[in-house]
Amino acid sequence: MFVYITSGTYDFLKEIKSKHKKENLLLMENLEKTVLLQETEGKKTVFASPRKFEVVDQRGELPERGFVVLDNIPVREEDRPGFEHRYKKRADAIEKEPGFIGLRILRPLNSDTYVILTVWQNESSSSSWKNHFSSSADKSTNTWQDLNKNIFSGPPYVNQYKLGLRE
């Protein structure tokens, strides 16, 4: 499975979504940015120049409504197998969280930045998971700060979006 992500104006991306009704397209926005995500079995995309990813692991659904968190994590090439293994192990725990809807661990095909995409019923569900995970993490095994910091090729960053805000 593959995921493609592109950005643009709300109206432009809404038009793309309307033209490709048979595709699995999710329109997401926040106060600063609008993005369109395509999830597909094949390597073909409807976008001209998207960010490209292969799905490494998936849980749940990607619905039309909800709150989306994209954890963007740049990882050095040689450290990708260990990074993926560690995140796959963590995926089981998130499924039991109240408000969880879906998860995709996305391996980059044209960059070094993985995306851990989670979908929640609402922002408070996401915040509860984050607080729960932070407070219950075993410092020796569950936090990235304890790993060799050299696995990262840059600082991680987070994007948050709402699905179906204007639809």
Query: Which among 40, 56, 38, 34 has a CA at the least distance from the CA of 48?
Result: 38
- pLDDT tens track for 135-144: 544 444 444 4
Q: What angle do CA 64, 70, 74 make, to 5 degrees?
A: 150
Q: What is the mean pLDDT of each run of 10 residues along the chain (167 residues)?
A: 96 95 94 95 92 94 93 93 84 84 95 95 85 52 52 90 78
- pTM for the whole structure: 0.86
The contacts of residue 110 (CB under 8 Å, 6+ apart) are 51, 52
